[in-house]
Amino acid sequence: MEESEVPLEHLHEHVKESAEDTGAVWISWVALSTAVLAVLAAIAGLLSAHHVNEAMMNQIEASDQWSYYQAKSIKASVLDAKMSLAGTANESDRSKYDRYEKEQEQVKSEAERKEAAAKSNFHKHEVFARGVTMFQIARQDRDMRKVGRKKKPTREKRDFAQIAFNVVQQATGSKTSRKRPVKKNRR
């Protein structure tokens, strides 16, 4: 899955010119945070693509294992039918049948392990994809803020970046959380 990039070169040029013209310090910080968010979005996008590829590979390998399991099952069934028709089973046929049964169990556990890995990787892909979306929203908000020259971001807009960080932490299994202290409104 490739991320499509919206052409924003003209917007970035306008922001850069505006920042140079005004000399406002806050615009530089907004520009820096925009760049950081863009880098984080790119990293999350790469990780998302990696996990979706791994999920597909695991699912293909699981499918191969299930096909092998079915082949072993067919061999065991044919051998069982042969032994039933013959009336008495010779030692060679009995050992083959036991071997097929044992191999079936091993193949089954491997196929189930591959399916679980595919499911886990696909879940990680979904989480990273959500992180990319949140980073992109936060980044676009900062770009628009620079163009509109609003001085302070609203709390709701700042929360997109926080949500993106939390989503990526969830995907990586990190237990730490970057939470801001709650500020009380003083009016």
Concatenated DSSP letters of 33-76? HHHHHHHHHHHHHHHHHHHHHHHHHHHHHHHHHHHHHHHHHHHH
pLDDT score, position 103: 95
Tokens of 186: 């003083």
Residue type, 7: P
pLDDT score, position 39: 83
pLDDT, one tens digit for every residue, the chain (187 residues): 455 455 556 656 665 666 566 556 666 676 777 778 788 888 888 999 999 999 999 999 999 999 999 999 999 999 999 888 888 778 888 899 999 999 999 999 999 999 999 999 999 999 888 888 888 877 776 666 655 555 555 555 556 566 666 666 666 666 554 454 445 555 4
pLDDT score, position 187: 45
Does this model's pTM top 0.95?
no
pLDDT score, position 35: 78
Residue type, 170: Q
**CA quadruple 41, 45, 46, 50: dihedral positive or negative?**
positive
pLDDT score, position 141: 67
pLDDT score, position 185: 53
Delimit the domains of the chain by residue range. Answer: 13-123+139-172
Distance CA 178, CA 32 (A): 19
